[in-house]
């Protein structure tokens, strides 16, 4: 006879048997097969079901005492619930076992899968309690650990200095003090960083500052101040961002990083506000309204000394009358057209394009020298122009933009 695999058992039929007289296990099994034969038809004949493996081995535990016998009958089944119920019901039709009067009472039909489910639930509770007691890391912590490893792998080098993966491709660069700063900013999606790695400023940093719009982002401590002073003395830096007082860039939160970058000031403003570093000098800044950005003056007053007026060129060169006239006439010609004219160093027109395409065209054109357009000069456009080597940027109006290597003019300023 076929034996039913334990894994296929769905139900177990449990019944109690009692008999007036001495009976044994073979007597009980014989009565079950004999007295149920043909009762439910050939499809549910116990011998056939057992032969095909749908009913398992019938177990009988019987004991006799004082002329009577009693025990338990167990029948495993892989049939469906309805067929198993029919088989279970037939057991109570058996009234004799061997020569003795007997009575079989159905006790239960147990769903083994229910028992398994109960076991699984209890085992899962036990596992969860163990995991909690052992302090399994939160999934966010695991995720952050993985991201941190990836970010460290993304840090690359430029001439031996740690930098973000997009530093060379970007039009701007954020100069920081060390590798840890690069990693922390990379954590918040800032990928155009370069570290000076020390107290002296490497030539590589000086060179890159000439090519890109540069923001210095240093620690808010004494060491950061000294490194920043060293950088702005030798490199072309447009903006200054400083970490909160007493904090280092490498330990800042995302909110602190972006707030510091939003609050950045121009390098020129920083110099004016921090001349001497210890309050020994006081600088008074004056803006000549007639030249407005073309020429600026400042006075330096040292304690106990009379003030001396000095001039400082904030641009590579001043604008000539010829250039002023050309730019003014070009602006008059394009008023209302939303067009931009791009000139080379000989003031030949390299192209005339729609203002909305100006930035993309500048990125692809060779040696642009001056741009005159029917629109407002923004910081974004000025940064793009600087990256492409433009010397003059002239618009109908302009934002409060100050780029050291470009002379930025509005229509009103050309008339003065």
Note whether 404 and 313 are within 8 A (CB): no
User: Do residues 104 and 58 lie in contact, with contact meaning Cβ atoms separated by under 8 Å?
Assistant: no
Distance from chain centroid for Cα 59: 62
* Max Cα distance, the chain (Å): 136
List of residues 6+ apart from 248 with CB closer than 8 A: 181, 219, 220, 221, 224
DSSP string, 257-306: HHHHHHT-EEHHHHHHHSTTSSSSEEEEEEE-TTTTTSSEEEEEEETTS-
Residues 109, 157, single domain; the answer is: no
User: How many independent structural domains does the chain possess?
Assistant: 3
User: What CATH number is given to the structural domain containing 25?
Assistant: 3.30.70.60
Are 340 and 266 part of one and the same domain? no
Residue 299 domain-assigned (yes or no) = no
Residue 185 lies in a domain: yes
Query: Do 148 and 264 fall into the same domain?
Result: yes
> Positive or negative CA dihedral for 223, 225, 227, 229?
negative
**Does residue 38 lie within any of the structural domains?**
yes
Question: Percent helix, strand and coil across the chain, each rounded to 5?
Answer: 40, 30, 35
Write the pLDDT tens digit of every residue in 234-253.
999 999 999 999 999 999 99
* Predicted model pTM: 0.40
Yes or no: say if 235 and 207 are a contact pair by the CB < 8 Å rule: no
Q: Are residues 150 and 269 in the same domain?
A: yes
Q: Contact at 8 Å (CB) between 95 and 31?
A: no
- For residue 25, is it within any domain? yes
Question: Is 241 in the same domain as 329?
Answer: no
Please indicate, yes or no, if residue 293 is contained in any of the structural domains.
no
Burial class (CB in 10 A: 0-12, 13-18, 19+), 309: exposed
Do the domain assignments include residue 304?
Answer: no
Q: Are residue 73 and residue 149 in the same domain, yes or no?
A: no
Q: How far is the C-alpha of 201 from the C-alpha of 177, rounded, in Å?
A: 10
166-to-147, 158, 162, 193, 384 alpha-carbon distances in Å: 18, 11, 12, 8, 16
Q: Do 38 and 108 reside in the same domain of the chain?
A: yes
Burial of 185 (0-12, 13-18, 19+ CB in 10 A): buried
Question: Which CATH number do you get for residue 408?
Answer: 3.40.140.20
Helices (H), 52-171: 81-90, 112-133, 139-154
Range of the domain at 356: 321-415
Mark which of 274, 309, 334 sits at the end of a domain: 274
Q: What letters, b where the CB count within 10 A reaches 16 and e where it falls short, cover 16-46?
A: ebbbeeebeeebbbebbeebbeeebeeebbb
- Which of 213, 242, 274 lies at the terminal end of a domain, its last residue? 274
pLDDT digit string (tens) for the chain, length 416 residues = 445 555 578 899 999 999 999 999 999 999 999 888 888 888 888 888 888 888 988 999 999 988 899 999 999 999 998 999 999 999 999 989 988 999 999 999 988 888 788 888 889 888 888 877 776 566 666 666 666 666 666 889 999 999 999 999 988 999 999 999 999 998 888 999 999 998 899 999 999 999 999 999 999 999 999 999 999 999 999 999 999 999 999 999 999 999 999 999 988 888 887 764 443 333 333 333 333 333 333 333 333 333 334 333 333 457 888 999 999 999 988 988 889 999 999 999 988 999 998 988 898 888 999 999 999 998 889 888 998 999 999 999 988 887 878 999 998 888 76
> Considering the domain boundaries, does residue 135 fall inside one?
no
Measured in whole angstroms, the distance separating CA 9 from the mean position of its chain's CA atoms is: 49
- Residue-wise pLDDT for 275-331, tens only, equals 644 433 333 333 333 333 333 333 333 333 333 343 333 334 578 889 999 999 999
- Among 84, 61, 59, which Cα is nearest to 8's? 84
Q: Minimal CA–CA distance to 75: which of 63, 59, 86?
A: 59
Q: Do 184 and 237 fall within a single domain?
A: yes
Residue 157 CB contacts under 8 Å (≥ 6 apart), including other chains: 163
Domain boundary among 114, 136, 156: 114
Give domain status of residue 234, yes or no: yes
């Amino acid at each position: 006879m076929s034996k039913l695999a334990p894994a296929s058992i769905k139900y177990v039929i449990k019944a109690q048997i009692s008999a007036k007289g001495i009976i044994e296990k073979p007597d009980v099994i014989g009565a079950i097969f004999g007295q149920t034969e043909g009762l439910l038809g050939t499809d549910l004949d116990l011998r056939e079901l057992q032969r095909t493996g749908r009913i398992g081995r019938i177990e009988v535990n019987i004991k006799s005492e004082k002329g009577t016998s009693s025990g338990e009958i167990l029948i495993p089944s892989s049939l469906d619930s309805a067929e198993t119920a029919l088989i279970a019901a037939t057991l109570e039709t058996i009234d004799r076992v061997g020569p003795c009067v007997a009575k079989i009472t159905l006790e239960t039909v147990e769903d083994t899968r229910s028992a398994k489910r109960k076991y699984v639930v209890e085992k899962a509770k036990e596992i969860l309690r163990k995991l909690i007691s052992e302090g399994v890391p939160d999934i966010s912590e695991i995720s952050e650990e993985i991201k941190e490893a990836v970010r460290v792998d993304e840090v690359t080098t430029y001439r031996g200095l740690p930098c973000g993966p997009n530093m060379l491709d970007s039009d701007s660069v954020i100069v920081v003090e060390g590798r840890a700063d690069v990693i922390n900013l990379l954590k918040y999606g800032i990928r155009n960083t370069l570290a000076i790695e020390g107290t002296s400023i490497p030539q590589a940093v000086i060179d890159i500052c000439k090519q890109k719009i540069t923001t210095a982002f240093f620690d808010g401590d004494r060491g950061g101040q000294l490194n920043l002073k060293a950088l702005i003395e030798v490199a072309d830096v447009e903006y200054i961002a400083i970490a909160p007082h007493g904090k280092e860039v490498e330990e800042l939160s995302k909110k602190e990083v972006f707030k510091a970058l939003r609050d950045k000031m121009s390098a020129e403003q920083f110099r004016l506000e921090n001349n001497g570093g210890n309050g020994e000098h006081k600088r008074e800044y004056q803006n000549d309204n007639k030249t407005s950005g073309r020429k600026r003056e400042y006075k330096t007053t040292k304690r106990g000394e009379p003030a001396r007026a000095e001039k400082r060129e904030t641009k590579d060169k001043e604008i000539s009358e010829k250039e002023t006239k050309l730019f003014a006439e070009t602006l008059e010609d394009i008023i209302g057209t939303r067009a931009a004219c791009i000139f080379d160093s000989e003031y030949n027109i390299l192209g005339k394009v729609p203002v909305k395409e100006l930035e993309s065209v500048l990125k692809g054109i060779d040696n642009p020298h001056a741009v005159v357009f029917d629109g407002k000069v923004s910081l974004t456009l000025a940064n793009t122009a600087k990256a492409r080597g433009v010397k003059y940027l002239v618009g109908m109006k302009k934002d409060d933009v100050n780029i050291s290597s470009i002379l930025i003019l509005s229509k009103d300023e050309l008339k003065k």
